[in-house]
Amino acid sequence: MMLTLIDGERRHAIGAQFADGGVQVDPADVEAALGWKLAPEGLCRGSVCVPVRDRASLVRAGGLDLAALAALLDRPLALDAAERAAALGESAGDRANALHTLEAPDFTLPDLAGRMHTLSDHRGKKVLLIAYASW
């Protein structure tokens, strides 16, 4: 079966097995989607490795346990096994560190005509960023 994994703006289809309310995901699909791969030194992406102290709770018969994977990456996980969909949020620590630099986080968003605009294209000018809504 497939799981839709939401990661920021991206949606990934990932091979998954569902058991006891939990989800085990295909390691190769995880690597393709998120870049993280299980190696002898731990869970690695490029030259960065996160140690895996409790390998048995991460590596299950049906693949990698998604909740254990999210916990290792310090990322919040919203999961709906019945809907076969999950969202990986951003780590509070990572966001706090990013905001601490005071560097305005860059983004690319569409206007009504679908044209994309990127904040950093306006570097060199003062920018007044206004978030609002109709609600």
Residues near other proteins (CB under 8 A): 4, 6, 8-9, 11, 75-80, 82-83, 85-92, 95-96, 99-100, 102-105, 107, 109-112, 117, 119-120, 122-135
Which is closer to other proteins, CB of 40 or CB of 93?
93
CB of 106 to other proteins, least distance (A): 8
Instruction: Write phi, then psi, for 125 (nearest 5 degrees).
Output: -120, 155
> At closest approach, how far in Å is the CB of 51 from other proteins?
20
Residues in Cβ contact with 104 at an 8 Å cutoff, skipping those fewer than 6 apart = 119, 127, 129
Distances (CA, A) of 86 to 3, 14, 49, 66, 130: 7, 10, 24, 9, 30
Choose between 35 and 76: whose C-beta lies nearer to other proteins: 76
